[in-house]
Structure formats: structure tokens, C-alpha cells
Structure 1
């Protein structure tokens, strides 16, 4: 029965069409679907006696061949964008227009948007980084949504004189996208080795001179040159308290913006403590971004 379901899933993925005519995001969606089938259906097929079910063997062979074609098309489309970024043929403004212009509406049946599919296809990253256990003081990394990245860019307008820190950068989606979309210096800080390795591999393809990834406990990193800080639900407990205290100290000395986002702001109370102590001021809540806290230096209001 599992094999029959797998066969039906495979048939859907084998629909004819020229892969080169698909957008990079559409190619990534196909790639992820193939990956799902391989991870969840192949084990069931291997348990079957394919000699008794030759139609499944035929389908699986066709599926593997189609998956190779999808991978090749995705690689070619991604390399075209990467090449233009490396050579300056795609400016930060035009790069940003390209992914933002795809929109942030979730596709039916998918917890994703056209902008997210395009960015994740370009970077070859899934929303959840695999192969890494949850760190002792944070969450299993989830890549930031494109709409949050767009909002951060609109709120902070980072330029050449700015340094943006992505605290708990995971596989690098936010940091790479901001570095490619602006002239700001972008530094991703990450404790998990698997995440850092993934982020560096993703970033190397684009040779962005304004991008750096730091493998360290965030409490050991000098953040004093930062002007904007992005946090997507990365820490809790003492680490969250220490980060908020550090950013509060920086806010007393210079004008900074803190953009804290996540499915639940378990660490928000630590930033509110800095508000009560006069280091940071909280921007008005926006209904469209109810899970986002934007804080700025109180002394530079």
C-alpha cells in the first residue's frame, strides 16, 4: 500500500514540461517535492518485491531521472544569478527588487511564498536545517521568512556606513539576502557548527565582500560596531538576558535598531527590561507584524 501511494506521488512529479521555462522558485518547489518522496517513499519501495511490482520499479527509475534533470536546471538557474552577483551585473537594489517582487502570499497547500521559494532555491537551503541538534540555549534553526527580511530592510534602511548583525544566523538566509540587497556590512553569528558550515557554503557562491560568518557563542562576540541587530527567536534564558543587556549597553552609547522576531517572543521580556531601564525604546506595534519587536536607542530619539 505504501508503495502504491508512492507510485501516485511519483506520477504527479513526472508531469511533462520544459524545466528551463520554470522560475527558479518553481524549480526549488519541485526539488523539495522530490526530496520528500525520496526520504519518505523510497524506504517503503525498498521493502517491496519489485519483481512482483515492475510498474513501481519503472516509476521509480523515471522519478530518479526526472530528479536529476530538476537538480541540473536548479543549479543552472542559481548559478546565473550568482554569476551576476559576483560580477556586479546585478546591483543590490535590483537583487532586492527581484525577490521582493515575487510576493509574500503563501501558495495553496504550501507553507511557503514565491519569494521564499526563490531565495531558498537560490541558496539551496530548506526552512529547517537538518543534521544539527537543538543548541543548549536555543531552538532548532528555522530560516527567516522573506517578508520578515523585507520588513527589516524597510525598517532599518541599512547603508554602506552600517553594520548589521544576524544573531543566531543559522544557515545564512537572512544574512546573505541582506548582504546581497544592500551595501551594509553583514555579520552572521552562530553557535552551531553545522549551521555555520552551511551558511559559509551558501555565501561563498556569491563572493559578497560585505558578508562574514562568525562561529562563536554570541556572548563572546564584540558587537559594539553594530548599528542594526536581527534576532529570529534564537535564544532563551541567561543567553537571551545577556544579549539584551549587551545591546542595551550599546544603545546607551550609539544609535542602534534591534529587530526581534519569532513565532513566540520568549526572550522579549529581556528587551522590555532594557526599555524600563531607559536604554531602548519600543516602537509602536504593527498589526501586520504582531510577532516583531522593533527597538531603538532611547537616548537618540
Structure 2
């Protein structure tokens, strides 16, 4: 099982988890009573799922140890996951890079079943290609502070912290998400990573140089955050990487363009839903 690699192990783990999570124990007992041979089949499935889980844990522990000890530098860590590619697998809304990162972090693409605050969104983990694009656009270094606003369970923040020397701060209102992000981050002992449990409107963002938003909120919250970033942009050179719809989200950032705080970079063909904005006074 270890020879499959971390990404392939994660794909199997998700498949087994889907089956186990969608089987009703009471109905399973009824099926076994009608067809006793199913008991052995289910036991084999559970044993196989455990084998996959153990292999995934071991592979993730290897990478975590390399990060903790410095054997895997930020540049090499980034090259490892980016080198797997961003081509979507047939029949799966995933890529090899995403499978590797999500297997390492044990983060599912979509997290449901948790309470959402007003103007908040369902947590969706950032796609690896977007994280790669952010790193290319911003080139964060030792003197930079990156904010992931509405960080969810931490895929973007942890990946950027492990892939660069920048300080990375994830801000999230959902307590369950923050706790999961902190647990994940602790495994890698990244000294440049921090998760803040707070309403983003109450956080001092003035030390930030790059801001990432994957449509984490809309309406009044998006409006307030855009105003705050506009104020920061007037004081220092920043980059805002905002992904999401224009209506009731992107329009608030464009308002800061109209007011002269931010300027909008040319749109790229491959990232039509992304706005890259920079401090107008420093361009």
C-alpha cells in the first residue's frame, strides 16, 4: 500500500470513507440476516479501509517529519506538490496536486454539517492550482505577511506557510474549523504559521502585505473587509487575491478601485473568477 504514494492513498481513503459514511448500520444488519455471506465482505472492506488509513498516516508522517526537521525546504516542498500537476482526473473533481495536499493535511474538499455565520459560506478547500497561482503572483518572502481571510480548515494557509518563508495568518470565525486547522498545522511545527479565531472585521490587518480570499463571505462582511483593505492599501503596498463572483462580493473590492485605493491587474484567461488588486499609490 505504501508504494501507491500519498495522493493515491488519499483517493482510496476517500472512496472507502464514502462507502462507510453512507451505509446505515441498521440496514446493514438486515442485509446480513438475509445474506450472511455479506458479513465477510463487509469485514474485508473495513479491514482494507484500515490498511489504507494506516498507510496514509505513515506517508503523511514522513513528510511532516521532513518539514519539522528542515530536511524538506519550502522551495522543495512547493516543487513536490506543484510537480504533480493540475490536470483534473477523469471522473473526479480533483487533481494529483490536490490529492497529495489533501492527503497530507487530511482535509476534504468540502466540509459540511457545520453552522455558518450570517454572510458566511460552506468551507471549500482551495484548489492547488489557485494556491500555486497566488504564490507566483505575490512571491511572498521573509518580510511578507500573508493573510488567509476565512481560512476554513487551513489548506491554503498551511500550504503557503510550508512553501514559503512568509509569515502566514489564517483568520476564521468557525471554531470547529480553527481547531482543525490548528491541529493540522501543529503536525508540521511551522514557525511562520498562525490561526486566529475571530470575526475578520475585528482583526488588525495592518501588517499584511498579501491577502487571499476564496469567497469566504459576502454582503456586509465583504463590504467591511474591502473597506479595511482599501485603508491598508493607502498606507502600504499590498496585493489582494480575491476569488469569487462579482455580485455582492467582488463589487465591494471594485468599489475600492473606483475610490482610488486599489487598482485591478489585467485578468488572466485561466483565472477568470480571480481578481488581483494592488495598492494604487504604490504601482
Question: Same fold, TM exceeding 0.5?
Answer: yes
Q: Residue 172 in 1 paired to residue 168 in 2?
A: no
Q: Residue in 2 aligned with 1:66?
A: 48
Q: Quick one: which of 114, 118, 130 aligns to 1:132?
A: 114
Q: Residue 247 in 1 paired to residue 229 in 2?
A: yes
Residues 265, 109 of structure 1: CA spacing in aligned structure 2 closer, same or farther, 3 A cutoff? farther
Task: Report the Cα offset of residue 54 of structure 1.
Answer: 1.8
Structure 1 gap ranges (5+): 1-18
Q: Quick one: which of 80, 84, 87 aligns to 1:102?
A: 84
Q: Residue 150 in 1 paired to residue 128 in 2?
A: no
Separation (CA, whole Å) in 1 of partners of 2:247 and 2:213? 10
Separation (CA, whole Å) in 1 of partners of 2:246 and 2:95? 21
Q: Partner of 2:48: helix, strand, or coil?
A: helix
The normalised TM-score by structure 1 is: 0.92
How many pairs align?
283
Residues 146, 41 of structure 1: CA spacing in aligned structure 2 closer, same or farther, 3 A cutoff? same
Contact 2:244 2:250 in 1 (8 A): no
Separation (CA, whole Å) in 1 of partners of 2:246 and 2:180? 25
Structure 2 gap ranges (5+): none
The normalised TM-score by structure 2 is: 0.97
Give deviations 1:78-136, integer Å, cap 9, x for gaps.
00000000000000000000000000011111000000000000000101124412221
Q: Quick one: which of 174, 198, 201 aligns to 2:180?
A: 198
Contact 2:31 2:38 in 1 (8 A): no
Residue range with higher mean Cα deviation, 210-219 or 44-53: 44-53
Q: Residue 50 in 1 paired to residue 26 in 2?
A: no
Task: Report the Cα offset of residue 198 of structure 1.
Answer: 0.7
Q: Residue in 1 aligned with 2:62?
A: 80
Task: Report the Cα offset of residue 47 of structure 1.
Answer: 4.9
Separation (CA, whole Å) in 1 of partners of 2:195 and 2:184? 11
Contact 1:252 1:297 in 2 (8 A): yes
Residues 32, 263 of structure 1: CA spacing in aligned structure 2 closer, same or farther, 3 A cutoff? farther
Task: Report the Cα offset of residue 37 of structure 1.
Answer: 0.2
Q: Quick one: which of 246, 261, 274 aligns to 1:292?
A: 274
Residues 144, 44 of structure 1: CA spacing in aligned structure 2 closer, same or farther, 3 A cutoff? farther
Q: CA RMSD in A?
A: 1.2
Q: Partner of 2:281: helix, strand, or coil?
A: helix
